[in-house]
Amino acid sequence: MAIRKETIAVKATENSRITAITELSSKEFISRAKKFSKQYRVTSDKKFKLKDFATLASEDTGKAGNRFSQQSLQLGVQLIAEMQDKMYAGNNWSLLLIFQAMDAAGKDSAIKHVMSGINPQGCEVTAFKAPSAEELDHDFLWRCSKKIPERGRIGIFNRSYYEEVLVVRVHEEILKAQKLPDKLITESIWDDRLNDIHNYESYLNRNGILVVKIFLHVSKKEQKKRFLERIDKPEKNWKFSAGDLVERKYWKQYMAAYEDMIKKTASDKSPWYVVPADNKSFARMVIASAILTAMDSMKLAYPKISDEQLAELQRLKEELVAEKG
């Protein structure tokens, strides 16, 4: 009977939290989202250490199937859709979302769930694989530069130019295949590339393109669990490849590369969010909150029209109302 009472108490608490959050105004919800995401936001912290960020959130709001987390995400998705509509109409700002993570961290599902409510006309998702022969004949930013979102649009990079300081850094034989002059492959090449990326993102900021970078911080233990699930479940077999296990053997090297990358490219205007990714529901809440924070900073609004345009609209309305048939 004690267990039954405890279950009822938990459900009552959850119901009250759901009621409270659904009664918030848009402004209040965004304010909470900004406060919530701030704890995972990294800007110009030269003392940044990846080990200081947990892979599993301490809060219980993101448990799988938790109605509060589902309702929070749904409300966040609705607000993102509303703000995207204003951004599309205004046609001056654009937003670039970059997702980076180890395999099985949940990038694809996060993009699917968090961006589920937006207008497809105003969004493009690009998944960057190994570079083609044509891409190798250009600088390392070239192929991503072609996919930078137009004004009024959202661009989503599932992996990005950051692979050039991650997988290429861990497997330096890839660097040798990039046709760079030998004298340019120096000990400082990774710092040089990170500096180039930092400057590139500053350039994008100055052109009205906000860059938000998401690192889904998954643990090695959780990755193993998800790999086994991909092997055991027939509908997920297609997601697994032998190469995933090869990369897993370089876990420490990747973590070191990620730490250096975040430390040297995070900025106030192009922050990184180190998202605890062992719990997918919670991770999606953080990501939605980070996106709302960025879009709120744009001060988006529908374009205002002149008195002459309003008068013309009224004339056209009268014409339509008077139309017979």
Write the CB contacts of 231 (distance below 8 Å, at least 6 apart in sequence): 237, 240
Q: Give me the CATH number covering residue 122.
A: 3.40.50.300
Percent of the chain predicted with pLDDT > 70: 93
Please state which of the ranges 64-78, 174-188, 205-219 shows the lowest mean pLDDT.
64-78
CB atoms within 10 A of CB 143: 18
Q: What is the pLDDT of residue 294?
A: 98
The rounded distance, in Å, linking the Cα atoms of 300 and 38 is: 21
**230 lies in a domain?**
yes
- Contact between 161 and 141 (Cβ < 8 Å): yes
The rounded distance, in Å, linking the Cα atoms of 206 and 93 is: 11
- Contact between 57 and 306 (Cβ < 8 Å): no
Higher confidence at residue 324 or residue 101? Answer: 101
Return the C-alpha torsion angle 126, 127, 131, 134, nearest 10.
-30
Please report, for residues 7, 99, 162, 174, 189, the alpha-carbon distance to residue 165 in angstroms, rounded to integers and kept in the order given: 48, 14, 6, 11, 9
pLDDT in tens, 85-131: 999 999 999 999 999 999 999 999 999 999 998 999 999 999 999 99
pLDDT in tens, 175-193: 988 999 999 999 999 999 9
**325 lies in a domain?**
no
Total structural domains within the chain: 1
Q: What are the residue ranges of helices labelled H in the chain?
A: 2-22, 26-38, 67-90, 107-114, 133-136, 142-145, 167-170, 172-176, 189-206, 220-232, 242-248, 251-265, 280-296, 307-322
pLDDT interval class at 141 (50, 70, 90): very high
**269 lies in a domain?**
yes
Kind and range of the H or E run holding 213: strand 209-217
**304 lies in a domain?**
no
Residue 3: pLDDT over 60 = no
Q: What is the pLDDT of residue 59?
A: 67
pLDDT in tens, 23-71: 899 999 999 999 999 999 999 877 899 999 999 987 655 454 578 888 8
**10 lies in a domain?**
yes
**317 lies in a domain?**
no
**50 lies in a domain?**
yes
Residue 275: pLDDT over 50 = yes
Q: What is the pLDDT of residue 44?
A: 85
Owning domain of residue 102: 2-298
Residue 173 tokens, joined: 């034989």
**β-bridge mates for residue 213, sequence order:** 98, 272
Q: What is the pLDDT of residue 68?
A: 82
**207 lies in a domain?**
yes
Angle value at C-alpha 213, between 161 and 75, nearest 5 degrees: 140
Backbone torsion region of residue 170, taken as left when φ is above 0, otherwise alpha when ψ lies between -120 and 50, otherwise beta: alpha
